Amino acid sequence: MDPQLTSQIVPAEEIKVIEECLVRLAEDTGGNYVLLLDKSGQVITAQGDAARQDITALGALIAGTFASSREVAKLLREKDFRQLFTQGVRENIFISLIEDQWILCIIFNKGTHIGLVKVLTKKATDDLSVVLERVREQQKARDDVLGSSFRTSMEDTIDLLFRD
């Protein structure tokens, strides 16, 4: 089967490794918020400032920004923009690509130097690339994870909720 059409399963133990990596990055940089997204905009996991609402919309927008910058890169015949830096009045956002699959995003305030964020993010993306590699390699059968009756239950739920 086309690997691009199958889903990506991130096992519990890998989520734990990812979380540790994000916590470390937040602590070492004094960052307020760190999140890991899939390139489709879905939040894999987030750490920090629990008061942030609407992570879902944030994920969609950041991934959209990144994807559109990739198209800008193509037009400029640039290979890719691996990083994006957005400067705000109170907070800055630094975004970095992990392989072609995940997006690491850190939100930090004026107290933190961007140079430090860049160096530590580089280290974190290296660590996360290793995790991503492992996630890609493991070939767990869907049924092991979801259970064989998942699809029928899902179809019932769809019929129940998606109607006027």
Partner 1 sequence: MALINVAAREIHCKIVYYGPGMSGKTSNLQYIHSQVPKETKGELLSIATETERTLFFDFLPLDLGKVRGFQTRFHLYTVPGQVLYERTRVAVLSGADGVVFVADSQKHKLEENIRSLRELAVNITRQNKRFQDFPVVLQYNKRDVPGALPVATLDKYLNTLGWQRFEATATNGAGVFDTLKAISKLVISKL
**Rg over CA atoms, the chain:** 18
Tokens of 24: 């470390």
Q: Which of 63, 95, 120, 132 binds partner 1 (CB under 8 A)?
A: 63
Smallest CA-to-CA distance from 21 within 136, 142, 102 is with 102
- Residues with Cβ within 8 Å of 97's Cβ and at least 6 positions away in sequence, in order, are 66, 80, 82, 83, 103, 104, 125
**Of the ranges 23-31, 69-77, 90-98, 123-131, which one interacts with partner 1 (CB under 8 A)?**
69-77
| 89 counts as binding partner 1 under rule CB under 8 A | no
Of the candidate residues 50, 71, 89, 90, the single one contacting partner 1 (CB under 8 A): 71
Which of 7, 51, 76, 90 is close enough to bind partner 1 by CB under 8 A? 7
Separation of alpha carbons 66 and 95, rounded Å: 8
Which residues in this chain contact partner 1 in the complex, by CB under 8 A?
2, 4-12, 15-16, 38-42, 44-45, 54, 56-57, 60-61, 63-64, 67-68, 70-72, 74-75, 142, 145-147, 149-151, 153-155, 157-159, 161-164
